[in-house]
Amino acid sequence: MPTFAPSAFPLDLASTPYSYIERPNSVIVSLIREHVLSRRPDARILDIGCGCGANAEALKHLVPTVRVTGIEPNEKAAELARAACADVFNGTLEEWLESPGRPNYDGVVLSDVLEHIADPVAFLRSLVATPELRGSTWVISVPNYGVWYNRVKTLFGRFDYAWSGLYDRTHLRFFTRRSIRALLDYAGLEVIEDRCTPSIAQSTASVLRRFFRDDVASGNHLVLTQNRGFQLYQKLIQPAETSLCGVWPELMGFQVVSVARVK
């Protein structure tokens, strides 16, 4: 298996098996708590594309009785996610849909998944048609193409693929707050609320990433959550950033996070 090569060209997908530095999405966790766990602390949550389980770990820390099932095609990420999830299916959504004995789920999480899908309409419709998800509350995040720093870079003719973030080398689709709402509506989901995640610190991700390249190379993809500086940022700065983001989410938001239900 190839090791992480930070100097490699990002579109060289064979240069690393898994390149993400993961952290929980505070807005997703907050919305799951408000819309699902507040009514049922022992809720079953289906986290599609759960990665290394950062969101599952945060939910479990918040409400220990929550039961998260993860679906993750990457073998390494699925292995790490098992520490936080009650169960992890290592495979694709299509393979999971063919598996027997699925329970009903109270919540569905799609954390930065749709932008990686060639046919997001068919992908969503296959989920909407799944009986076990008909009564679920869906929490769906996508990067916001209209974020301020992308507008600036585009003005100067810059678009450089990266290991992660808005310019992730595996992104196939791009969304704004308006376009993700239109997609969800077209696929049979009614949006009942949306929020955005802050973007100021996120805009420096490509620089900060250099401090953690050895950790990623060793397989510690959750290193950021263990970092004291990041913990202080979460406590002291992120709340103010989030409030600022709420003033003009289409411009200041890094991700659009939608809460939806099947129509």
Domain residue extents for the chain = 18-262
The pLDDT of residue 9 is 81
Burial 18-38 (b: 16+ CB within 10 A, else e): bbbbbbbbbbbbbbbbebbbe
Q: Check residue 219 and give its pLDDT.
A: 64
* pLDDT for 88: 97
Listed as ranges, residues in the chain with pLDDT below 70 are 1-7, 17, 204-209, 211-224, 226
pLDDT in tens, 232-243: 877 888 888 888
Condensed to tens digits (0 to 9), the pLDDT of residues 174-230 reads 999 999 999 999 999 999 999 999 888 777 666 666 766 666 666 666 666 767 777
Second CATH level (architecture) for the domain 18-262: 3-Layer(aba) Sandwich (3.40)
The type of residue at 254 is F
Annotate 91-122 with DSSP letters as a single string.
Answer: S-HHHHHTSS-----SEEEEES-GGG-S-HHH
Whole-prediction pTM: 0.88
